[in-house]
């Protein structure tokens, strides 16, 4: 029997939704795959549910990051199977590290993803930029995150930020970056 077109389309839509950061798709995908992931690791490991839930969150984060940075373009398995695959690597790492919880902290983020394109900066600088972004606030912060983190096009940014068009979005992004740099420099950098 051939795989149904409906099934393939549904999965393609899911990947596209994850790529453009559609929150509804992301949330649905998170909830839809959680129980299978937890059941699989309950059966195959001795880990308790809270640890398995931590692996799931981490696996989902890694999947999202890989889709966001175009490292994962074509998913030719189910999302659940992919997540379990990532989870198995996390489980192996945790086992090596003595099953400790919270192995990963935000400061380690730049080193979690193998081959991550994230520029490695020291935690202090990252915190300063984070503080500057918070001080910048509102729409500007969202625009910069949409452009530099989510890699949205100017058209999408204009749409999401309620700006007239992509030219206005581009100009606004420049102004926001300029402001961010001013705050960052004002804080002694």
- Interacting residue ranges for another protein, rule: CB under 8 A: 1, 3-4, 7, 23, 26-27, 30-32, 34-36, 39-40, 43-44, 53, 56-57, 60-61, 64-65, 76-78, 80-81, 84-85, 106, 109-110, 118-121, 125-126, 128-130, 132-133, 144-145, 148-150, 171, 174, 177-178, 180-181, 184-185, 189
Nearest to 79 by CA among 43, 26, 115: 26
Query: Could you tell me the smallest distance in angstroms from the CB atom of residue 97 to another protein?
Result: 20
Given its phi and psi angles, is residue 133 left (phi above 0), alpha (psi -120 to 50 degrees) or beta?
A: alpha
Query: Could you tell me the smallest distance in angstroms from the CB atom of residue 31 to another protein?
Result: 6
Q: Can you say whether the dihedral through the CA atoms of 165, 168, 170, 172 is positive or negative? A: negative
Q: What is the largest CA-CA distance in the chain?
A: 66
Query: Could you tell me the smallest distance in angstroms from the CB atom of residue 106 to another protein?
Result: 6
Query: Could you tell me the smallest distance in angstroms from the CB atom of residue 28 to another protein?
Result: 10
* Closer by beta carbon to another protein, 129 or else 159: 129
Query: Could you tell me the smallest distance in angstroms from the CB atom of residue 149 to another protein?
Result: 3
Nearest to 132 by CA among 172, 178, 181, 174: 181
CA distance 100 to 179: 41
* Closer by beta carbon to another protein, 98 or else 188: 188
CA distance 60 to 79: 10
Q: Determine the straight-line distance between the first and last CA of the chain, rounded to whole angstroms.
A: 63
Q: Is 2 helix (H, G, I), strand (E, B) or coil?
A: coil
Q: Can you say whether the dihedral through the CA atoms of 45, 47, 53, 55 is positive or negative? A: negative
Query: Could you tell me the smallest distance in angstroms from the CB atom of residue 15 to another protein?
Result: 13
* Closer by beta carbon to another protein, 32 or else 93: 32
């Amino acid at each position: 029997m051939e795989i149904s077109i409906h099934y393939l389309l549904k999965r393609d839509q899911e990947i596209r939704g994850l790529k453009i950061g559609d929150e509804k798709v992301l949330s649905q995908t998170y909830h839809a795959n959680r129980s299978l992931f937890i059941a699989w690791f309950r059966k195959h490991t001795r880990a308790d549910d809270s640890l398995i839930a931590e692996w799931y969150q981490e696996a989902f984060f890694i999947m999202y990051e890989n889709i966001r940075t175009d490292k994962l373009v074509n998913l030719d398995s189910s999302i659940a199977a992919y997540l379990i695959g990532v989870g198995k690597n996390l489980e192996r790492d945790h086992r090596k590290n003595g099953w400790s919880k919270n192995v990963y902290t935000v400061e380690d983020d730049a080193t979690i993803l193998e081959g991550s394109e994230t520029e490695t900066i020291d935690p202090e600088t990252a915190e300063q930029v984070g503080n500057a972004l918070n001080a910048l606030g509102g729409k500007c912060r969202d625009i910069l995150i949409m452009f530099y983190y989510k890699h949205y096009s100017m058209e999408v940014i204009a749409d999401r930020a309620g700006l007239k068009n992509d030219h206005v979005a581009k100009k606004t992004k420049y102004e926001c970056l300029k402001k961010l740099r001013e705050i960052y420099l004002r804080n002694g950098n």
